[in-house]
Amino acid sequence: MEPPVIPPRSRSLPRLRWPARRRRTAALAAGALALMLTGTGCSGPGAASPAAAGGAAPTAAPLVSGPLCDLLPSGSDPGNPAALAGQPAEAALQWLPVLTTFEAAVRASGMSADLHGGPGVTILAPTDDAFAAKFSEDDLDHLLLAEKDKLRGLLREHLVAGSLSLADLVAAGTVTTLAGTTVTVTGGGGTARLAGQADTVCADYRAAGARIHIINHVLGSLPTTGGEGGHRAH
């Protein structure tokens, strides 16, 4: 039986509106991925729907925490925490409407396979607004389309080996990213601060072999070119 096709995000979250830049960024990443995979077989962007028939539904919804969670899919909405729990991480990211830039970067970099397997992975995923604050439109376009090695390095700054809950991160006090960077973790009560600059805004999404924590700041040492005056010149 063919898996159902993942519906557009706009059908999942009629309450939210996101700037045209998000859609353009995803389209740019898709173009980069198509160029990278020319001559090879690849699957479509969607795995089976989180509500696909035949999958056992979780008995209780995983608990997510943070100030942004109330604006994200919940209850019986497509993309709710329980529905994402059994999905591969790269598929789960597609259902979170504030992570379109991060998800596009994963596809453009060819790093989807890094998000599952082995001991699991912890994903510290910056929001679209965090990317907009960090990079100008021109710099982000160039990063997605022409700087594959640099893009991979940036993404590794946001990945930690092992599937760690928010409580695990806080208890550890420090974690080391796949880029080799040591990140301090402080906090509690449903949120945490990473490297003294990024806060978790909706933490503890579970995916297959992964935890996803949405954060509000891009980590790593790349220069900041976004914010006021950082948009494309016309």
pTM above 0.85, yes or no: no
Q: Give the helix/strand (H/E) hosting 30.
A: helix 20-36
Q: Picking from 50-54, 140-144, 186-190, which range would have the lowest pLDDT averaged per residue?
A: 50-54
If DSSP codes are grouped into helix, strand and coil, which group holds residue 60?
Answer: coil
What are the strands, taking DSSP E only, across 111-232?
121-126, 159-161, 174-176, 182-188, 191-194, 198-207, 210-215
Instruction: Note the pLDDT of residue 55.
Output: 46
Cα 75 from Cα 8, distance rounded (Å) = 18
Least reliable range by pLDDT among 19-28, 90-99, 126-135: 19-28
| Mean pLDDT across 216-221 | 97
Q: CA 127 to CA 218: how far, in whole Å?
A: 8
Lowest pLDDT segment from 36-40, 164-168, 187-191: 36-40
Domains in the chain, ordered, with CATH? 61-164+200-215 (2.30.180.10)
- pLDDT-derived band of residue 116, with 50, 70 and 90 as boundaries? confident
Residue 137: name the closest of 19, 18, 21, 20 by CA.
21
Tens of pLDDT, residues 193-202: 999 999 999 9
Percentage of the chain lying above the pLDDT 70 cut? 71
pLDDT average, residue stretch 124-139:
97
Q: Please report which confidence band the pLDDT of residue 67 belongs to, taking 50, 70 and 90 as the band edges.
A: very high
> d(Cα 115, Cα 99) in Å, to the nearest integer?
15
Counting every residue written for the chain, the total comes to 234
pLDDT of residue 5: 42
| Single-letter code of the amino acid located at 228 | E
What would the two tokens of residue 177 be? Answer: 């990213």
Give the confidence band of 62 by pLDDT, cuts at 50, 70, 90: confident
**Burial class (CB within 10 angstroms; exposed 0-12, middle 13-18, buried 19+) of 59:** exposed
| Residue 47, pLDDT score | 43
Q: What is the mean pLDDT of residues 57-70?
A: 81
DSSP 3-state of 108: helix
> Is the backbone of residue 39 left (phi > 0), alpha (psi -120 to 50) or beta?
left
Q: What is the pLDDT of residues 72-92, one digit of tens each?
A: 999 999 999 999 998 999 999
Q: What would the mean pLDDT of 117-146 be, rounded to a whole number?
A: 95
Dist CA 37 CA 23 (whole Å):
21
Is residue 152 scored above 80 in pLDDT? yes
Residue 136 confidence (pLDDT) above 60:
yes
